Amino acid sequence: MNFTQSLMIVVMSFMVLISGCQKGDNLTIDIEVKKLISQMTLEEKIGQMTQLTIDSVSKVKGTESDLHQIDLAKLEEAIIEYHISSILNVYDAAYTLDYWHEIINQIQDIATKKTRLGIPIIYGIDAIHGANYIVGATIFPQSIGMAATWNPELVRKEGEITATETRASGVPWNFNPVLGLGRQPLWPRLFETYGEDVYLASVMGAEYVKGLQGNDISNPEKVAACAKHYVGYSFPLSGKDRTPAWIPERMLRELFLPTFKSAIEAGAATVMVNSSEINGIPVHSSYYLLTEVLRNELGFDGFVVSDWNDINNLYLREKVAATQKEAVKMAVMAGVDMSMVPYDFSFYELLLELVNEGVVPEWRIDEAVTRILKVKFELGLFESPYPNVKLKKKFACGKFRKVNLQAAREAITLLKNDSRLLPLSKDKKIFITGPTANSLSVMNSGWTITWQGDQEDLYPKSKKTILQAVENKAGAKNVTYLPGVTFDKEIDINAAVKAARNSDVAIVCIGENPYCELIGNIDDLTMTQSQLKLAKAIEETGVPVVLVLVEGRPRIINGIVDDVDAILMAYLPGMEGGSAVADVLFGDFNPCGKLPITYPGYTNSLMCYDYKNSEISEINDYDAQFPFGYGLSYTKFEYSDLKLDKAEINESDELNVQVTVKNTGEITGKEVVQLYVSDLVASVTPSVKRLKRFSKILLEPEEAKTVNFTLYKDDLSFIGRENVRIVEPGEFVVSVADLTAQFKLK
């Protein structure tokens, strides 16, 4: 074989190798990215690290009356002269699918046809509980409600539907899921989380990512996920948004990193950074968290985007940088790949200077751009940058609505049902009152149609408020409604009392006004005084009272709990929330939600369920109004025969756990079987118990099922004194409902 022949063989094998790789294959993509980067100027590369808000390239911002308009000259400047990579969001309006198509077409036309290299733009939106910036989208319960379903399949479907509807607009990137743990109930973004438990949130977060992305994000119905806000954002000491968190390394590793680990294992393509600081270090400036932990330990290989203006904030707000330029250097060198700038070209200009001055090395730019372009290739944006009009017919279809209704129903958590007041019969005379009874915006809250979600007039008229859905069931002539109070003012409590006296039952709907991010900061977790006063006054009539809570955070209600007969926690149940609440009230659906958070009894006793032994004593207890994992049904379940297949195990053994659950009531129902493990003695003070498995099962009356779980070494592990995950021999207790069984790890 001569040299030419050998060369031919090498070339041919290489071609076979490449052609054997399907579209979207890693190897093909790596080759394409390398090729593209080798052709890029420094300016083009830095542009790829830049993300602007659509406002910055618009003439008119856009509200319902004032339709949004792109400013083509500004858009061309941004894309052609500054080579920007990404555009995000809308703020004050939702657009129709057709209008989205117009915008995305305009953007991609410029990016792919008028630039030297034709690199498509990656547009991102906050489709937090459905594709909320698209008119008519399927809007689910907020994540706290999705967690209350304890049904990972529903969360996966939410992800799938959100992906299809988001991609139907032409947008391929969703800034969700929120993976911070909801362990600080004052925090106004609690409703965006999957609750307080690390295992539940890890399972739900990973399912959502799988739903959004599937196995291949080049699929025209999938979008890239953005696991956020890495890390520790959800735990501000003050409870106010974007304020400092103090999280020791052990706690970070035990509670706040695992949700990100499981989302990364599920394939999350991008990560957004915590806007705030941990232990005095703004996360946008932390090489340790963004590179050593995220990349080297968790193995994340997608790209990292900053949060809104947060590179500038290192200088403006956090004061760890003396100049804006220093802030840019800090963030880029810490590991931020793309800056959500979002209004100007300052990031681009300063970073260009920094590289030209030799302060930021070009390899770091290449690294960031490689990661960004890789995701653009993986999404198939180079082949199909434009909206896929075929998806229009799937958008907000009846099938999606049904899944949404099921999610809202399964979220609703029955917290009290004395003397079996619920379900109500449909021939009762009903009085319904309170500021959350007749509003769609209160059931959806932030990230719905607009950022704050508070513009009631923009909500679809086809969706039902709780009042409308109750009227539908019981007949309008049997239902009287008076608001009684607003969230902070009395309207006419006397009239409400009078109307209640003339009814068989009163439904009191209270909770929270819509809010998002720091606008939702509060100084007191207590339910507002006007609402407590209304509830108290109605209770005093002696008419049976059902309390319906529509809220993103567990507002303290201890003064009114004892005297109401029934309590339904609806969370923020989304567009089908009214129908779902009515289905539960009248027994057309048997409630099966369980609290994914502790419902605190007192403002200053904010413990989570996995507290330490020393946190309780003869003086104080886990003073929950309702504990984590709690929720009633209209039927009854009995647990028996909790069995472990071994009394002693080695680290490499599996432990099989079995328990039997029987429906001993009269109607079909779903039950969430929850398995907790307690480590009795450990070198780091153990939690009293930790959720390790759960399974939601359906049981007909008299039906019994045996549920099997398998536990592994990891389920017994914890972060030890050296801050690494360890397992220690000793005694452990498995508990399911009120049954327990003990085993020993040798």
Q: Give me the least distance between CB of 487 and ligand BGC, in Å please.
A: 24
Q: Does 310 qualify as catalytic in the annotation?
A: no
Beta carbon nearer to ligand BGC, 91 or 288? 91
**Contact yes or no for 290/278 (Cβ under 8 A):** no
Beta carbon nearer to ligand BGC, 167 or 416? 167
Q: Give me the least distance between CB of 61 and ligand BGC, in Å please.
A: 14
Q: Give me the least distance between CB of 343 and ligand BGC, in Å please.
A: 13
Beta carbon nearer to ligand BGC, 127 or 566? 127
Q: Give me the least distance between CB of 88 and ligand BGC, in Å please.
A: 6
Q: How many residues of this chain bind ligand BGC (CB under 6 A)?
A: 9
Beta carbon nearer to ligand BGC, 193 or 598? 193
Q: If residue 506 lies in a helix (H) or strand (E), which one and from where to where? A: strand 505-511
Give dist(CA 458, CA 113) in Å, integer: 36
In this structure, the number of other CB atoms found within 10 A of the CB of residue 59 comes to: 12
Q: 3-class DSSP state for residue 413?
A: strand
325-332 CB contacts, 8 Å cutoff, 24+ apart = 325/350, 325/353, 325/354, 327/285, 328/354, 329/354, 329/359, 329/360, 330/284, 330/285, 331/284, 331/285, 331/306, 332/49, 332/360, 332/364, 332/365, 332/368
Tell me the CB-side half-sphere exposure of residue 531, using CA atoms within 13 A.
Answer: 26
Give dist(CA 216, CA 21) in Å, integer: 14
Q: Give me the least distance between CB of 223 and ligand BGC, in Å please.
A: 14
Beta carbon nearer to ligand BGC, 125 or 206? 125
Site string for ligand BGC, 574-603 (x = CB under 6 A): ------------------------------
Beta carbon nearer to ligand BGC, 51 or 417? 51
Q: Give me the least distance between CB of 126 and ligand BGC, in Å please.
A: 5
Give dist(CA 376, CA 152) in Å, integer: 28
The overall longest dimension of the chain from CA atoms, in Å, is 102
- Measured distance between the N- and C-terminal CA atoms of the chain, rounded to whole angstroms: 63
92 binding ligand BGC? (CB under 6 A): no
- For residue 665, give every residue at least 6 positions away whose Cβ sits within 8 Å of its Cβ, in sequence order, or none: 633, 634, 635, 636, 637, 701
Q: Give me the least distance between CB of 647 and ligand BGC, in Å please.
A: 48
Which residue is at the shortest CB distance from ligand BGC?
175
In 664-723, which ranges are E strands? 669-679, 690-699, 704-711, 718-719
- Selected binder of ligand BGC within 175, 589, 634, 718 (CB under 6 A): 175
- For residue 642, give every residue at least 6 positions away whose Cβ sits within 8 Å of its Cβ, in sequence order, or none: 657, 658, 659, 734, 736, 739, 740, 741
Rounded (5°) CA angle 215-217-219: 95
Residues 642-671 touching ligand BGC, rule: CB under 6 A, are none
Q: Give me the least distance between CB of 143 and ligand BGC, in Å please.
A: 12
Residues 474-533 touching ligand BGC, rule: CB under 6 A, are 517
Site string for ligand BGC, 199-228 (x = CB under 6 A): -----------------------------x
Catalytic residue among 55, 241, 307, 337: 307
Residue 338 DSSP symbol: B
Tokens matching residue 146: 């999705």
89 binding ligand BGC? (CB under 6 A): yes
Tokens matching residue 351: 């970073």
Beta carbon nearer to ligand BGC, 308 or 626? 308
- Selected binder of ligand BGC within 194, 308, 586, 743 (CB under 6 A): 308
Beta carbon nearer to ligand BGC, 168 or 227? 227
126 binding ligand BGC? (CB under 6 A): yes
- Selected binder of ligand BGC within 275, 286, 417, 590 (CB under 6 A): 275
**Contact yes or no for 88/81 (Cβ under 8 A):** no
Contacts with ligand BGC, residue ranges (CB under 6 A) = 88-89, 126, 175, 228, 275, 307-308, 517
Q: Which residues are catalytic?
A: 307
